[in-house]
Structure 1
Amino acid sequence: MGQHDSDTLKDGLKIDEVEHTGADYSRNVNAKIRNPLLGIEKEQLKANTAAFCAQYGFVDKEDVFFRGALAAQNPTDYEDIPELTADDKHYLRREVTHRWHLPKDLYYSIALCSLGSAIQGWDNTGANGANLSFPQEFGIEHNTWLVGVINSGPTLFGLLSAWAADPINNYLGRRGTIFLTGLFCVFPVLAQAFTQNWWGLMICRLFMGLGMGVKISTIPVFSAEVAPASIRGGLVTSFQLWVAFGIFVGFCSNLVFYRIGRLAWRFQLAAAFAPAIPVLIFVWMCPESPRWLMKKGRYQEAFKAFCRIRNTEMQAARDMYYAHCQVLEERDAFAGVSLGRRAWELIAVPRLRRATLASGWIVISQQFSGINIMSFYSSTIFSEAGYSTKDCLLASMGFGLIMFIFAFPAVYTMDTYGRRNLLLLTFPNMAWCLLAAGLCFLMPTGSSARVPLIATFIYLFTALYGPGIGPMPSIYFSEAFPTSHREIGAALTICVNNSVGSALSLTFPSLLAKLGPTGAFGFYAGLNIVAFIVIFFIVPETKQHTLEELDYIFGVPTRRHVAYQVRVWLPWWIKRYLFFQKNAKLEPLYHLEGTSGPHA
């Protein structure tokens, strides 16, 4: 079966079109996205699925897998397939008409595991409020670099621990990894409340980073691997949704403990342990990632997991068999076994390099947006604007509330409007909001409009961040890499994220002191424009394609992608939106052959 499917794929992709043989996705010059089952005769497909079932112990499920293979082979033309039952066709139709009607086990898994991401947001805001008091208690209020190091402690150690995501996931699976990292989100977080000096606090925050570095690369990967392609973006968005929820609750917590006085920072920092408790207790009730189980050769368990997160056995068999066929191709294309070899292939193999470059730039762009600076230092910023301590916390809570509310639109737009389009829409608008907020600091201190205008532009910036770059990194790096390199790719992306985030968190207090609020905000406005330009050229669209089909997306050479944006997309956009030519036609970059994904 595997050999025949592989041969079919090789024959279907003409050498002069894609300039490669075998399953080498790195030279997909003609931008074709091909279904690996396309072109296989029905009798041969039945023989292939029978061989698959015999090999992996599904003899009693031969008919189910055959029907699933037919549905995978004909994702849009299933109505005329006589072998499919009436129930099969009914549920295939509902995948289009009722995309969000999925088993409760799927939503339970997404919700519970994403709850772990609330810890990250809550900790950021706990530090935000604590910045108003702990530097004074430890006598380091004038040492802006040291305050920056303490605040960025979790991302500094997260930079080191992110590399452990690959071996830990390999041995413990997604659930085991989430449980292990949850322990680091309870005990070091609570220990912060009992520290007696600045270096004790920093040690606690460094230990927090050990868990967070692995956690934030595992949870999105787990979500992406269990979600169906049509709403994968919306489901993985739950990671950012819960981060935003944690930020909002953290600001509320800051206000609750504010009246304690000079010891408030201890409670503000330690309260972030709360979301980790239900995760530690209930994570074992989630199904394990079926793609991880397939990677480990545990196909029986993988099928049971697929059945828990799909509406019917046929749909579970379809997704499993389709993924299996693509995994066979990936094994030929990406042969790395050791951790070092797989890490090297992220740079050496063009398909992987393009995924690494796009994912890495998206996480850099999130840091360039300035949102983490707002999360850590919004109270400090509002203090610069002339707010009292209480008003600083209230204004920061408004920032958290807006971030949480505007994370919801991304759930629905991520898989319709698209990842790339949302980024291109929001970055220029975030830039002018930051610039406007910075210029408002130049208004006279006594002006009654000064403080409200600063807050308004910061809130507008946050509202644009929510459905744009906010959820994008966790979605993109969790889907961009093939199964063979998903953990190490996510780990590298998180390392890039933590490196840039740590650098910006470390430097912002000094930047604010040297340039003032106007200069600092103008600096980040410029970074937003840089992020927009690079995204325009190098980041491909990934919406509504299966994880396996994305091998072809990232197989398109970067120069082909850049040339399309400059020669085709940009002229079309100018005609359509500047000259209002409604009849302007956009020639798609990707051409689908036997898949259900969208043209782009």
Structure 2
Amino acid sequence: MPNEAASRGYRDRFAAQARSRRANDGAVIENPLATDVRIFAENHLPDVPYDRVLRAARVAKDIRLYDEIARRTRIDGSHLPVRLTDREKDALCREKDVTFSEKGMRIVIATVSLAALLQGRVLCFPLLDEIYYRFVQSSFNGASLYASVWKLRLEEGGDGVPLDVWLLGAANASPWFFAALVGCPLSLPINYWFGRRGAIAVAAFLILASSIGAIFVSDWKQMFGVRVVNGLGMGIKAVSTPILASETAVGFWRGSAILAWQLWVAFGIMAGFAFNMIFSQARDEQMILRLIQGAPLVPSLALLVLSLGFCPESPRYHLMKGPNYSVQKAYEVLKRVRNTELQALRDLYMVHKALEQERVGVSWDPHVSMSPGFFWVIRDFLSQYGQLFRRRRLYNALLSACTVNLAQQLCGGETHVLLSNWG
């Protein structure tokens, strides 16, 4: 019986092919790519001519071939389905040869760099001022020199460590503790509802508010609360900013875009210590402390304005299932961050197909832009953390990342950044 069913299936398929050949008088061969592109263009990009989308998809399919055509003028590409213009050839060459050659990537890199600098500035004010992460980190480092303003006495005497030293340590550790345990996980739902740019704006606002609050604190309890808010902002920002850089950069330079984070974190630490030294010339300790703790206010305000007013959203975010799903918006973003329409349509189609393979049928789901609700979203994010331990590939990456980050905390560099004002 199974053999008969299989034979019947083959006969039906061959009969259908025969009928198709008799009906196809023009001997037109169906092209799967052209068909898929036509459906994609008609459903999601009605204002863009189908031929342009197909042209970009063909370049994406044979990207190495067209890269060679763009680089070697002696090669005749007239026989290929896509004939590149001189401007397109130059753009394809520059996107690999020139770092961040895309016009719109400059504002993204500026946003990432400012966020990283703010991270470093917070670190520069030891212990009591470690709330503001790198630029903020420097702020934490320096503020610990003025613990007496928070009604803490650190004189050593008797056996053991005085209670006030532990209280100072709690205030200094609170931003990192809450950034790791609350801020970073909280970035997932915030990114889902507000996007990468919105998450950066939320983080900048939290850091701005905590910087203003830190100016007026009078005891360690108030400082502890202010630093909790700052830690939430630092955790959200530390997760969202590298994602924005990686999702907007050309694949060839994606690693360099993310490395800009570490470069400017280090610069922020240096700048933070320099400002600490300048602020130390103020007339009294109260003024010095306020200047140190309020210093992250300026870069956080600049980051808030930059993220809301100028920085583009991640195109990949607009192609993912959620309340802000919009292929048209993703296309508009890519036109801003790419030099030619060909590159924008190419990357749009490639990201679309990649996400379609991860989530089959998402692009054709009529409810793709509807949010399933807060509790469902939180449950979904919790399940993502579970995959870190269930999937071997992710588990190996998790172990590697944890090992590297733990080694960084145990090295001498972190001691200089966080404890350099002691001793």
Count of equivalent residues: 339
Residue from 347, 359, 370 that aligns with 1:319:
347
For residue 368 of structure 1, what is the amino acid of its counterpart? L
Shift of 1:165: 0.7
Residue from 351, 367, 380 that aligns with 2:393:
351
Match of 1:448 in 2: none
Residue 312 (structure 2) pairs with residue 287 (structure 1): yes
Change (3 A) 1:366 1:70: farther
Higher Cα radius of gyration: 2
- Conserved? CA contact 1:113–1:283, under 8 Å: no
Match of 1:89 in 2: 89
Match of 1:363 in 2: 405
How far apart in 2 are the matches of 1:352 and 1:99?
30
How far apart in 2 are the matches of 1:206 and 1:62?
52
- Conserved? CA contact 1:161–1:214, under 8 Å: yes
- Aligned runs of 1:97-112 on 2, under 5 Å? 97-103=97-103, 105-112=104-111
- Conserved? CA contact 1:115–1:279, under 8 Å: yes
Q: After alignment, is 69-78 or 139-148 more displaced?
A: 139-148
- Aligned runs of 1:165-204 on 2, under 5 Å? 165-204=187-226
How far apart in 1 are the matches of 2:243 and 2:96?
24
Change (3 A) 1:135 1:224: farther
- Conserved? CA contact 2:191–2:199, under 8 Å: yes
How far apart in 2 are the matches of 1:182 and 1:100?
25
For residue 289 of structure 1, what is the amino acid of its counterpart? S
Q: What is the CA deviation profile of residues 166-196 of structure 1, one whole-angstrom value per residue up to 9, with x for unaligned ones?
A: 1111011111111111111112112222221
Residue from 236, 248, 254 that aligns with 1:214:
236
Q: Which of 1 and 2 has higher RCO (CA within 8 Å, sep 6+)?
A: 1
Q: Please, what is the CA RMSD of the aligned residues?
A: 2.5
Q: After alignment, is 125-134 or 286-295 more displaced?
A: 125-134
For residue 106 of structure 2, what is the amino acid of its counterpart? Y
Secondary structure of 1:282's match? helix
For residue 388 of structure 2, what is the amino acid of its counterpart? L
How far apart in 2 are the matches of 1:323 and 1:313?
15
For residue 150 of structure 1, what is the amino acid of its counterpart? A
Shift of 1:89: 3.0
Change (3 A) 1:138 1:42: farther
How far apart in 2 are the matches of 1:66 and 1:370?
55
- Aligned runs of 1:545-584 on 2, under 5 Å? none
Change (3 A) 1:42 1:267: farther
TM-score (norm 2): 0.74
How far apart in 2 are the matches of 1:72 and 1:368?
45
Match of 1:71 in 2: 59
Residue from 276, 289, 295 that aligns with 1:271:
295
TM-score (norm 1): 0.53
How far apart in 2 are the matches of 1:96 and 1:116?
26
Change (3 A) 1:67 1:367: farther
Consecutive unaligned residues in structure 2, runs of 5 or more: 1-28, 70-76, 125-138, 157-161, 363-375
For residue 313 of structure 1, what is the amino acid of its counterpart? E
Shift of 1:90: 3.2
Consecutive unaligned residues in structure 1, runs of 5 or more: 1-40, 385-600
Residue 107 (structure 2) pairs with residue 117 (structure 1): no
- Conserved? CA contact 2:95–2:102, under 8 Å: no
Match of 1:156 in 2: 177
Shift of 1:55: 2.1
Secondary structure of 2:295's match? helix
